[in-house]
Amino acid sequence: MPKEIIFISSVQKEFAAERKALAAYIREDELLKLFFEPYLFEEVAATGENPGAVYLKEVKSCDIYIGLLGTDYGFEDRGGISPTEREFDAAQESHKPCWVFIKGSSALQRHPKEAAFIEKVGERVSRKRYETLDELKKEIYRSAILYLKQSGKIDADDFDSSISSKAGLEDISEEALSEFVREAKAKRNFPLKESDSKEKILTHLRLLRQGQLSNSAILAFGKNPQVYFPSATVKCAHFHGLTVSKPIPDYKEYGGTVFQMAENALDFVLSKISLATGDRSKSLLVETSYEIPRAVIAEAIINAIAHRDYYSKGSIQVSVFKDRIEISNPGSLPKELDIAQLKDPHSSYPHNPTLANCMFLTGAIERFGTGIPEMYALTAERGLKAPDFEDNKTFMVTLWRPSARTDHDTVHDTAHDAAHDTAHDFLFLNLEYLPHRLIWILEGEMSRSEMMEKLGLTHRTNFNDNYLDQAFENGWIEMTIPDKPQSKKQRYRLTQAGMAEKEKISNDSKPN
């Protein structure tokens, strides 16, 4: 069996020790040496060819690219680009798996071009940080084992990369794939086109092996994933008090792809919490913000969907209480992490790496351990109580609402709610009917993307189905160019009925 060639790319002088040590490690490890052979430029005998042409040719013919990035940018060619960056670009253009490892913390002083290169890499592929050679070897070993499992060279008993024996390409939604490619190209410079075949896109994502779909292919792009995975749902419940009690005011269970589940669960939560609306002192458009930052809620929900244990028969549960939001999933932290490490930037060890990769490419999640620290930062910035994390049979995140900072007796809550309108220059609304939220933020004439941005939405289909289409049916909005519905210049505005409904919402929300 021919070995996979691993091209090791770096500034040679800065990483001379690591390059030599990694080559020896791959050649000596009892498992890795069976499947891989490292390529080092300095080991190649001198030829009459231009060195730049040689290393780019080798990158394009290799099977895997490893990039080591540090403080130095290295030699620059006539275009001002280093060989390391040229090699990375060539690997990307050739659709090679790219494993990139950054030496040192983000606070380390680096050459400006190296810092820019690292930022560029982060927009396209996963990165891992390391401090010592042993840490680097450990990360490379993990990446290699994952690659061997995904390519079917060694047995994989994990759900993420296991083959779905019952599903075929006919079960994959072309619409879901097209929307994914469109978003991934915009967010991460995804190299494929919407017109490419299902086979090409899924193979590139390592979701199709020898014509067979992996489980994650169904979860990410299936027409009806719950036919194959009935428990792969998100159950959402709203409680008026502080505890679980019946009757439940509102309960929904969402299925569909992982992207659809995330959007629907996020919308459910946003419809149950307060929306603050500012004045026009800084802009002609009225600013809106939720009582808990939308990014915090989205991070918690998406993490639960991406990292849950899909072998479990349990579902993800999202519960909205008077003082908090609880998001739990069947799963646990990887053995490499504990609760205490979550607050600081940390390496990412996804339970379902290929599924997480799809969500990363659309910009839904980051794989570098920055999401949870950002949750802490955003809640602190808003003056909210920090999130709580619990890992006990299930993994649960608790997000605290503003009222959690105080006692919860009825008298206090009533006074607090009544005082909001007079103490601030904005109105707090509880709009559970989603089209109401659309007409509330609609000012003048706005494009579809502007409305989605104001609402904090990213999924076009969800916005059309749950907001735009229903507002049209109610006669609350109209197009500015009705005879050309698909025009790029299309804008939307309130009708007289929409203005009246918006006024009614405002009047109904005022304190007595």
Interatomic CA distance for residues 177 and 195, integer angstroms = 10
Same domain, 274 and 352: yes
Which of the listed residues 227, 242, 266 is the one where a domain comes to its end? Answer: 227
Which CATH number belongs to the domain containing residue 245 in this structure?
Answer: 3.30.565.60
| CB proximity list for 227: less than 8 A, separation 6 or greater | none
DSSP structural state of residue 446: B
Domain assignment present for residue 161? The answer is no
Q: Summarize the confidence of residues 137-145 as an average pLDDT.
A: 88
Which CATH number belongs to the domain containing residue 56 in this structure?
Answer: 3.40.50.10140
Which of the listed residues 180, 207, 227 is the one where a domain comes to its end? Answer: 227
Domain of residue 262 covers 234-405
Domain assignment present for residue 155? The answer is no
pLDDT in tens, 288-332: 678 999 989 999 999 899 888 888 888 999 999 999 999 999 877
Same domain, 51 and 95: yes
Tell me the range of 392-401, 424-433, 500-509 where mean pLDDT is highest: 392-401
Same domain, 118 and 210: no
- As for how many domains the chain has, the answer is 4
Domain assignment present for residue 195? The answer is yes
Which of the listed residues 405, 440, 456 is the one where a domain comes to its end? Answer: 405
Are 327 and 375 spatial neighbours (Cβ–Cβ below 8 Å)? no
Are 6 and 40 spatial neighbours (Cβ–Cβ below 8 Å)? no
User: What residues form DSSP beta bridges with 290?
Assistant: 275
Regarding predicted confidence, which is higher, 497 or 246?
497
Q: Which amino acid, 56?
A: L
User: In this predicted structure, what is the pLDDT of residue 407?
Assistant: 39
Interatomic CA distance for residues 177 and 180, integer angstroms = 5
Closest CA to 3 of 157, 134, 147, 202: 147
β 234-238/250-254 pair status = antiparallel
User: What residues form DSSP beta bridges with 214?
Assistant: 163
Same domain, 137 and 283: no
Note the pTM of the prediction, 2 decimals. Answer: 0.62
Same domain, 14 and 79: yes
Closest CA to 124 of 298, 353, 360: 360
Are 87 and 59 spatial neighbours (Cβ–Cβ below 8 Å)? yes
Helix (H, G, I), strand (E, B) or coil at 129: strand
Domain assignment present for residue 10? The answer is yes
Residue 488 — very low, low, confident or very high, per pLDDT cuts 50/70/90? confident
| CB proximity list for 165: less than 8 A, separation 6 or greater | 212
Same domain, 38 and 143: yes
Domain assignment present for residue 279? The answer is yes
Domain assignment present for residue 419? The answer is no
Same domain, 219 and 244: no
Same domain, 250 and 370: yes
Domain assignment present for residue 45? The answer is yes
Residue 416 — very low, low, confident or very high, per pLDDT cuts 50/70/90? very low
Which CATH number belongs to the domain containing residue 455 in this structure?
Answer: 1.10.10.10
Same domain, 104 and 183: no
pLDDT in tens, 168-183: 999 999 999 999 999 9
Distance linking the first and last C-alpha atoms of the chain: 79
Same domain, 389 and 449: no
Are 471 and 439 spatial neighbours (Cβ–Cβ below 8 Å)? yes
Same domain, 128 and 45: yes
Residue 287 — very low, low, confident or very high, per pLDDT cuts 50/70/90? low
Domain assignment present for residue 163? The answer is no
Same domain, 396 and 321: yes
User: In this predicted structure, what is the pLDDT of residue 215?
Assistant: 92
User: How does the average pLDDT of the chain come out, rounded?
Assistant: 84
